[in-house]
Amino acid sequence: MATISDVARLAGLSVSTVSRVINKSPHVSDKKREAVESAMNELGYVPLPAARQLRGSRTNTMAVTIPRIVNPFFSYLVDAIEQELDEAGYSTLIVQTFGRAEEELTALNLLKNQQVDGVILCSLENDWSVINGYCKYGKIVLVNEYLKDVDVPIIRGDQYDGFYTATNFLFDNGYKKIAYATGRKTITIMKKESNFDADRFAGFQSSLSDHNLGFNYDWLFTNAHTAEDGKEIFKKIMTLKNKPDVVIAGSDEVAMGISQEAEKQGIKVPERLGVLGVDDQPASANLRIPLTTIKQPVDEMGRKAARAMLGLINGEEVSKMQICKLKVIKRASA
């Protein structure tokens, strides 16, 4: 495999001159540039991304981390990010973490090794104390995260207001016994530190409190991510002596599973059990019983994240906290 030294020897130039050509420095004569490019073509030399990096140069590539691309929320989020970056002339490298901290570090090490110009993190797998150590290597933007007192832009939905409004919507439509499903294994309300699920659950509980109701923890279902999880939630609800009359399902996928299992068992939605999804995935409007859902501003969040990253790269002032509104989309399931 040819090296940069091989290119320099064949071109009859110094390694530093070859490096300047590779990094598109304007301070190289056309004659020397042509000699280097000819030598590279003859040797089949392709520069490694890290080798191209001199101070002030760019890869025109961004890394974006997501848990799983098959999750519609993240696939649409990535689509919005990538469209915005593409319009600015950047390529996007998608890193699926599968919920593993070490995979997130793989993306951050691309930044450390100067193989990307920035990293957009859409779901944190490491503590901020770990991630913060990579800020010195380049630009980092967070999406859909709820950290406080961090010196990077965060683009997120207003989960508290969204779930407060959605719970009020259920009360306004006659529901009184509201179950709650979440993807987290546990739910903890922390007064000093906000987070994604804590904000959601706090908004939900605030609405209950405004209606002089407490929450029945028999109606809390955790670690719910898929339609299969939704089916299991429905089965558990059917075993309860005191059953809820509606479920905030945590995601459209979980909501679809609940509705499918209800239909299978002859339980009418929404007459006997209302179902409220989250995300407003395209499929949710096309079900036999179209899904009432909380619409997340995915496209807005993705484009704002990309614009924030581009602003940082270009040395602009970028707002550290950008909050997008959620809204209830009323259909037939609740």
Task: Summarize pLDDT for 186-230 with one digit per residue, the tens.
Answer: 765 544 344 556 889 999 999 999 999 999 999 999 999 899 999
Per-residue pLDDT averaged across 94-100, rounded? 92
Q: Compute the average pLDDT of residues 278-304.
A: 94
Instruction: Give tens-digit pLDDT for 304-313.
Output: 999 999 999 9
pLDDT band at 275 (very low <50, low <70, confident <90, very high): very high
Q: Contact at 8 Å (CB) between 181 and 247?
A: yes
Distance of CA 163 to the CA centre of its chain: 19
Pairing assessment for the beta strands 292-295 and 327-329 based on DSSP bridges: antiparallel
Per-residue confidence (pLDDT) for residue 48, from 0 to 100: 62
Mean pLDDT lowest among 23-32, 175-184, 273-282: 23-32
pLDDT band at 114 (very low <50, low <70, confident <90, very high): confident
Overall average pLDDT of the 230-234 stretch:
98
Cα separation of 11 and 38, whole Å? Answer: 8
Q: Produce one character per residue of 68-92: b if its CB has 16 or more CB atoms within 10 Å, e if not.
A: eeebbbbebbbebbbebbeeeebeb
Mean pLDDT of 291-309: 96
Mean pLDDT of 31-36: 92
**DSSP character at residue 294:** E
Torsion, Cα 203 204 205 206, to 10 degrees, reads 50
* Average pLDDT score, the chain: 90
Does the pLDDT value for residue 104 go beyond 80? Answer: yes
Tokens linked to 43: 């040797």
Which pLDDT does position 256 carry in this prediction?
A: 96
Rounded distance between C-alpha atoms, residue 200 and residue 187, angstroms: 10
What phi and psi, each to the nearest 5 degrees, are found at residue 326? -100, 160
Model confidence over 42-70: pLDDT tens digits? 888 877 654 444 445 678 899 999 998 98
163: left (phi over 0), alpha (psi -120 to 50) or beta: alpha
User: Tokens in use for 287?
Assistant: 């079900």
pLDDT at 55: 45
